[in-house]
Structures are given as C-alpha cells and as structure tokens.
C-alpha cells in the first residue's frame, strides 16, 4: 500500500521584486524544477504525491486533504520564526512530517541564539556579537577582520566579499546595510580565514554523515576572497569549486564529522541537515551554522552534490529523508525501498 505524501513547498515568484525587498530576497525559496524533482523522486519511491504550497491557504488545504505524511520543504512566509510555521500547523493537525520540529527550526534560523547554545555545550563557533536595528555597532573587543551578515537568513543571503570588514568604519557600513536591506539585527563574527567544509547528515539514532565536502575558494577571482557568498553559489557551480570527498586526513575527517553530529544533535535536528564548518589556523573546527532545511536542487545544492558522490543518487536521497521520518514516527510498516528490503 503506497503512502500519500503531501509535498509542502514555497515557490519562488517570478517577476520584479516587491518594494523594499533585497535583491536576494527569494534566495531561500524553491523553483518549480526543484519541487517537481522532489515529487518525482517520491513517486520513484512508490508513493502518491499531493502538492501543497505552504502559504496562507495551507491550513485549509491540510484540513481538506488526506495525506499520510508531509515532506516539508517550506521556508515560511514571513517573520523571524517563519520556518516553523508549517511544521507547527502539521503538529496542530496531527500530521507526521519530515525534518525538524518548530523549536529547532526557529533556533537554527536565529543564528545568535544557536551560537549561544553551541558555546554552552562546548562546540567551537566564531566569537560574535549582534547589533539590533537602531543600535550603533560596537565590536565589543572582537578581533578584526570581522564578518557581518543578517542574523536570521539562509542561502548566503546578505553575504558578499564586503561582508568581511577590517576596521570600524567598514563595520558600521555593513551593519547599516543589514539593518536597511534585511530589517533585522546584524550578526558580527570574528572571520576565520581557513578552509571551509560542509557535512550533510541524514537519519536519526544514529544520524549518518555523507562524504565531507570542501568549498574550494582557490579558483575564485582574487577580489572575491574566501567567502561562500550568494554570488559564489549562483555563478560558480562547477565541480572544481566543490571538492568531495574533501582532501583531509582521516583524523581531520573524524573531527569534522564528530563536530557536525554534535551541532546537529544539540539543536535537536531530525531526519536531515547540513552543518557548515571552518578550520582555524590550529586546525580546530568552528561551526558556522546548521541548516535543518538544506536545499534539494538536483546537481546544485550541497546535499544532492554529496549524495551523488556517495552513490546514493537524488531519488534515494529524497526517499532516505522520508524513511528517516517514517521510522521516527513509527510508520515503517509500509516498505523499505532504499536498501531493497521489504518490511
């Protein structure tokens, strides 16, 4: 008996930006190609798919549509806890879903709070401060260069080479830019000018890591610097910029994986996630952030890239995420396609 999976998404809108919206304001939202690819992968897994957009009409559609589980891709409509909106509705209606719960999604998106939690649990993360809208920037004794970004955005929104600042004047300029364009507090971190890695994680008890991938800045134009910017993601998608498996020693790999799993678990992530890490000059890993809603654009987003290297392939990756949620919800009485087993 196949499952009926409600594929929940927020579609990127075509046309001109709304007044006051930053140029990368829809970076987190998915395009139609990605949404259809996930739907096809779920059908490949033997399931029926109901498409449900996570907008203001989602509540009525969820009440009217019978689904067994929701595959959640929603970034939310608006507000500082927007990624929690659809999972909260699903919990209210008693509908199982893939991915992390509302609390985890809100914590991960609110980067200063997530970093405080990392520090409490002894997980290294760059020293930081935050600057609320209307406040003047104060480096609070942090060591330059510093890195300035919006406190609660993903997909490298608001990040560019100018995010790296080396004096008080540039700090003030970048903080003002965040306040004006993104209308939220600015996160100011000490910039770690070392190697950057991302670790994809799928499953629970225990979570399983995919091959570690390094973001390779060497082919970038010199003026761009070592910044995983919005421009980087949009313009440089060739394999030379994404090295997987990362060229690291077994000891380095073990440390990166251990750090990623700790950060994943400390935030309470479920089913899937991606952890971004940089090494300092001593080789110590520092968690930059955890993304419990990683992008799923085929052959473009980080997680599908590493899944291809792991010989999982896109369809199996999507169904592995679903299977992790089914197991967590006690719903594995259907079938286990991914390993060629029957339940």
Annotate 7-64 with DSSP letters as a single string: EEE-BPPPSSPPTT--TTTTTTSBPHHHHHHHHHHHHHTT-EEEEEE-STTHHHHHHH
- Is 287 part of a structural domain of the chain? yes
Q: What average pLDDT does this structure show over 333-342?
A: 45
More confident residue, 222 or 315: 315
Segment 283-290 shows an average pLDDT of 96
pLDDT at 340: 41
The CATH number of the domain where 217 resides is what?
3.30.470.20
The residue ranking higher by pLDDT, 13 or 214, is 214
| Nearby residues of 118 by Cβ (< 8 Å), 6 or more positions away | 124, 125, 263, 266, 287
Tally of domains within the chain: 3
Q: Are residues 307 and 277 in the same domain?
A: yes
Give the 3-state secondary structure of 74-137.
CCCCCCCCHHHHHHHHHHHHCCCECCCCHHHHHHHHCHHHHHHHHHHCCCCCCCEEEECCCCCC
Tokens matching residue 71: 């595959």
Banded pLDDT at 89 (limits 50, 70, 90):
very high
Phi, psi of 288 (to 5 degrees): -85, -50
What's the pLDDT at 339?
38
Q: Which residues pair with 149 in a beta bridge?
A: 187
Q: How far apart are the first and last CA of the chain?
A: 12
What was the pLDDT predicted at 341? Answer: 39
Q: Per-residue pLDDT averaged across 107-114, rounded?
A: 96
* Per-residue pLDDT at 27: 63
- 209 and 227 in a single domain? The answer is yes
pLDDT at 1 (0 to 100):
63
Domain annotation covers residue 119: no
Residues 324, 201 within the same domain:
yes
pLDDT at 80: 87
Tell whether the model's pLDDT for residue 55 goes beyond 80. yes
On whether both 314 and 284 belong to a single domain, the answer is: yes
For residue 269, which of 196, 212, 199 has the smallest C-alpha distance? 199
User: What integer best gives the mean pLDDT of the chain?
Assistant: 91
Q: List all residues 6 or more positions away from 94 whose beta carbon is below 8 Å from its beta carbon.
A: none
For residue 247, what pLDDT is reported? Answer: 97
| Residues 26 and 97 both lie in one domain | yes
What pLDDT shows up at residue 15?
Answer: 56
Helix axes 32-44, 314-328, angle to 10 degrees: 70
* CATH number, position 58: 3.40.50.20
- Structural domain contains residue 70: yes
Question: Tens of pLDDT along 123-152?
Answer: 999 999 999 998 988 878 899 999 999 999
Q: Per-residue pLDDT for 202 more than 50? A: yes
Same domain, 178 and 226: no
Q: In the numeric block, which tokens belong to residue 164? A: 């790296």
Q: Is the pTM of this model over 0.75?
A: yes
Residue span of the structural domain in which 139 resides: 127-190
pLDDT in tens, 236-286: 878 899 999 999 999 999 999 999 999 999 999 999 999 999 999 999 999
Bigger pLDDT: 335 or 203?
A: 203
């Amino acid at each position: 008996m196949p499952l009926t999976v409600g594929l929940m998404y927020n579609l990127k809108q075509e046309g001109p930006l709304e007044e006051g919206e930053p140029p990368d304001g829809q970076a987190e939202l998915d395009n139609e190609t990605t949404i259809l690819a996930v739907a096809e992968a779920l059908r490949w897994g033997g399931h029926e798919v109901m498409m449900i957009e996570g907008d203001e009409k989602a509540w009525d559609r969820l009440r009217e549509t019978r689904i067994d589980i929701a595959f959640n891709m929603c970034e939310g409509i608006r507000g500082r806890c927007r990624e929690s909106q659809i999972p909260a509705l699903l919990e209210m209606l008693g509908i199982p879903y893939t991915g992390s719960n509302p609390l985890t999604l809100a914590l991960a998106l609110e980067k200063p709070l997530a970093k405080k939690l990392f520090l409490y649990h002894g997980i290294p993360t760059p020293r930081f401060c935050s600057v609320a809208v209307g406040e003047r920037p104060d480096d609070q004794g942090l060591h330059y260069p510093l890195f300035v970004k919006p406190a609660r955005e993903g997909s490298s929104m608001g990040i560019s080479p100018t995010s790296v600042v080396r004096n008080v004047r540039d700090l003030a300029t970048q903080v003002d830019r965040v306040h004006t364009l993104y209308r939220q507090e600015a996160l100011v971190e000490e910039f770690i000018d070392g190697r950057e890695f991302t670790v994809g994680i799928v499953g629970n008890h225990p979570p399983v890591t995919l091959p570690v991938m390094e973001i390779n800045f060497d082919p970038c134009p010199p003026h761009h610097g070592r910044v995983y910017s919005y421009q980087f993601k949009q313009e440089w998608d060739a394999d030379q910029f994404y090295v997987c498996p990362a060229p690291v020693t077994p000891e380095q790999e073990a440390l990166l994986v251990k750090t990623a799993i700790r950060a994943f678990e400390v935030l309470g992530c479920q089913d899937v996630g991606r952890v971004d890490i940089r090494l300092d000059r001593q080789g110590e890993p520092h968690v930059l952030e955890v993304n419990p809603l990683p992008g799923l654009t085929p052959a473009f987003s980080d997680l599908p890239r590493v899944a291809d290297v792991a010989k999982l392939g896109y369809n199996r990756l999507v169904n592995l995420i679903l299977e992790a949620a089914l197991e967590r919800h006690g719903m594995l009485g259907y079938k286990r396609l991914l390993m060629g087993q029957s339940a």
